[in-house]
Structure 1
Amino acid sequence: MTRRAALLGALAATSPAAILAAPRKARALTRPALSVARPMQANLQAIVRAGEGRRLVAAGERGLIVHSDDDGKSWVQARVPVSVTLTALCFADARVGWAVGNMGVVLLTEDGGASWRKSLDGEAGAQLALQAARALQASGGRTDSGGPAGMLIEEAQRLVEEGSDKPLLGVAWREDGSLLVVGAYGLAYASKDGGKSWQSQMHRLPNPDGLTYYGVAERGGESLLYGEQGLLLRSTGGDAAFTSMASPDAGSLFGAVSLREGPVLLLGLRGRIWRGVSSKRPWNLIQTHVDAALMAGTQLRDGRVLLAGAAGQVLLSRDGGEHFRPLGLRQRFPYTGVAQAQDGALLLVGVRGLLRLPPDELRAALASGGAASMNEKSGA
């Protein structure tokens, strides 16, 4: 954020309109999501399968969460205790999952997404950050960014004063069984008991400029935390701290896909894709003809990889993410999430709702992409 943007934001926050709006924003943390007549035409931000089962869960604006048990043909709206926009989802199994979103909200479900309860919000998170900063100062320690604990206390106090105005943008159930949620301006919290209790992680992450985190990806027992301005951190799992990692890109990294074979694809601005096999090998830039940000992706059951973009593009790879080509679809809009149903259908979500490609339509679309060209096979 530039200095000018920060000053304008400060002036806006102290304006009479902002002061009157503050109670309305706070009510969004306690006001249940309203029933939506056409939920599949609403702004949806994320979609996942609940574990390895048939259930699909999607989430989006004003606390909207819907679930489907027939491969995305019909949907039921879930009971949600907040009305803030939800940005990301993940599940540990068919029943236990989490959603994160605006105002620092974390929601927990234990019935496969049919009902949810609040596990954390921005106000509670700010208090956790302040407690952690004070404990660090009392112990004489320093942050993992190298700064004094006093500076961390100042930042945490600012979080408390500003209230729950910052979004969480990523959530990950890590291989060691811990839960990590991350978001704007360096927000990060971890839980070792599935979201029943939380610990601030801001002092443990080398992010001195408070850059935004967009998500977490797993690769061969390690976790990669990615975000704004190419921010890239790495942890070997367990209680191991995240450390700075050389980033392949100076532009923001918005999404990631962890492939079953081991590599990770980082998705960024202007259609850039970075493919990384291990921390000991450099990232490879994958050329595409897309000029808009790529936001999300998934690996299909047959191993092919699909990526979705902010301008409605869908890219297909048949060789583990080494080459991509455009996939023609009957409808295009800015996509923010993608998942494959158990029956093979493809589900894409975004600002205009949900697009479902039945298995036969997906097969036709994949076939229209054609086999890899000789140039692709040779790497030309």
Structure 2
Amino acid sequence: MHAHTKHRQWALGALLMLAQGWVAAGDYVDVLDLPAKVSALAASSPLTGVARAGERLVAVGQRGHIVYSDDAGQHWQQATVPVSADLSAVNFASPTQGWAVGNDGVVLHSDDAGATWCKQLDGRQIGALLVEHYGALARAEPDNPQWPLLVAEGQRLVEQGADKPLLDVWFANEQLGYVVGVFNLILRTTDGGQHWTPFQDRTDNPQGFHLNAIASTGDGLYIAGEQGLLLKWEDARQRFVARPTPYQGSFFGVLGKPGEVLAYGLRGNIWRSTDGGNNWTPQASGLHVSITAGLVDADGNYRLFSQGGKMLLSHGHDAHLQWQQQVEPVPVAGAAQAANGALVLAGSRGVLSLRTQQE
């Protein structure tokens, strides 16, 4: 083959690789080391979670985008974020102290109400944490068969790299908090995220189901997972104990009030318990698509939102849920209520602020 023919073929191949998004190895920057790109469209790009930080609202989403609003969602500013990994959830323990989690095991922290963020943890560290933590327990208790299994799980995470998503985060206060994710991935901190302790041995989840959400109902802390998994924290046993449910599909969220809890998920399923999760009854939703977000509003009503943009509303002590006509139904991934009562929804079209009506 002539040299000029080889050159043309090499050039064509290079152009094809560039067109397909290939870059030289030396140019690659991990999303965990690449700050989120500043974009005028950040508030209208796909967002997956939203939370209150005092009077402020903070929403998180794809490519490390975090935006915040000080006027009930009418205008948004983009936060300074050190990663461009997709983010899945955000939670504030106080008006200033907040945490966000997402893909690649990333945990971010803000101490200024969500304007700037720093990275506390990522998936490159989580596997080593498991190996160190459960390795020490294995040496202390050589006859306990669960420790070598958890060490092996940590070693697999080290070998596989930082690709395990964290799906939710919840903090009881500025010191104590949890992050949860795929394959029973769960860690706890008691010092505001300076150090994290693996908690896989503290869950009744032997099959390693995904942990999709964690939330407090006021008198109970629950984790919702796939295949009907629902766990509740028990102080006496210092672990998350399985609460049997009659549903075998995935739960995407849990919310409630003292004395009552709702778990919701696939195909419009909603289940209610009034005895601490011991017994459950189905709640009619009239939906056949997944319920993906929910909140208890300022009046004590449940508001649940579907993947198809429907909103369900209960009234007071009655857990019966009814459809509410939405002016602009959009798929919802996260929901919060602003200080002025407006509903702020996060989803595939960014953030949307809706004034509540007197139903």
TM-score normalised per structure 2: 0.88
Question: What do residues 187-219 of structure 1 show as CA deviations (whole Å, max 9, x unaligned)?
Answer: 111100111111111122232221100111223
Q: CA separation of 1:238/1:83 partners in 2, compared to 1, >3 Å: closer, same or farther?
A: farther
Q: Which runs of 5+ in 2 are unaligned?
A: 1-19
Cα pair 2:202 2:239 within 8 Å, conserved: yes
Give yes or no for contact 1:305–1:320 (8 Å, CA) kept in 2.
no
Q: Look up the equivalent residue of 2:62 and give its one-letter code.
A: E
Tell me, in whole angstroms, the C-alpha distance in 2 between the residues paired with 1:89 and 1:21: 34
Tell me the CA shift for residue 328 of structure 1. 0.9
Partner of 1:10: none
Aligned to 2:31: 28
Deviation at residue 256 of structure 1 after TM alignment: 1.4
Residue of structure 2 equivalent to 1:377? none
> Structure 2: how far apart are the matches of 1:277 and 1:91?
27
- Higher-Rg member (1/2): 2
**Aligned with residue 186 of structure 1, among 184, 187, 202:** 184
Partner residue in 1 for 2:292: 295
Q: Structure 1 residue 142: deviation in Å?
A: 7.5
Q: Which moved more, 1:308-317 or 1:172-181?
A: 172-181
Cα distance in 2 for partners of 1:338, 1:22 equals: 40
Letter in 1 for 2:119: K
**Distance in 1 separating the partners of 2:147 and 2:161:** 21
Distance 1:331 1:197, change over 3 A: same
CA contact (8 A) 1:98 1:106 kept: yes
Scaled by the length of structure 1, the TM-score of the pair is 0.84
1:213 is aligned to 211
Contact 1:257 1:298 in 2 (8 A): yes
For 2:236 and 2:38, the matched residues in 1 are separated by 40
CA distance in 2 between partners of 1:25 and 1:294 (Å): 38
Q: CA deviation at 1:279?
A: 2.5
SS of the aligned residue for 1:79 comes to coil
Match of 1:135 in 2: 136
TM-align CA RMSD: 2.5
Residue 252 of structure 2 is aligned to residue 254 of structure 1: yes
Q: Is the 8 A contact 1:133 1:203 kept in 2?
A: no
- What corresponds to 1:235 in structure 2? 233
Residue 84 of structure 1: how far off its partner (Å):
0.6
2: CA distance between counterparts of 1:335 and 1:208? Answer: 31
Retained in 2: the 8 A contact 1:49–1:339?
yes
Contact kept in structure 2, 1:217 and 1:264, CA below 8 Å: no
Q: Does 2:350 align with 1:347?
A: no
Which residue of structure 1 aligns with residue 164 of structure 2?
166
In the superposition, relative to structure 1, how do residues 22 and 187 fare at CA in structure 2: closer, same or farther (>3 Å)?
A: farther
Residues of 1 paired with 2:72 and 2:238: CA distance?
38
CA offsets, 1:62-103, max 9 Å, x none?
Answer: 000011111111111000000011100101110001000000
Runs of 4+ aligned residues of structure 1 deviating over 4 Å after TM superposition are 19-26
* Identity rate, percent: 39
**Superposed CA offset, 1:250-305 (max 9, x none):** 1110011233x441211111111111223275122111101111111112212222
Does the alignment pair 1:272 with 2:275? no
* Helix, strand or coil at the partner of 1:242: strand
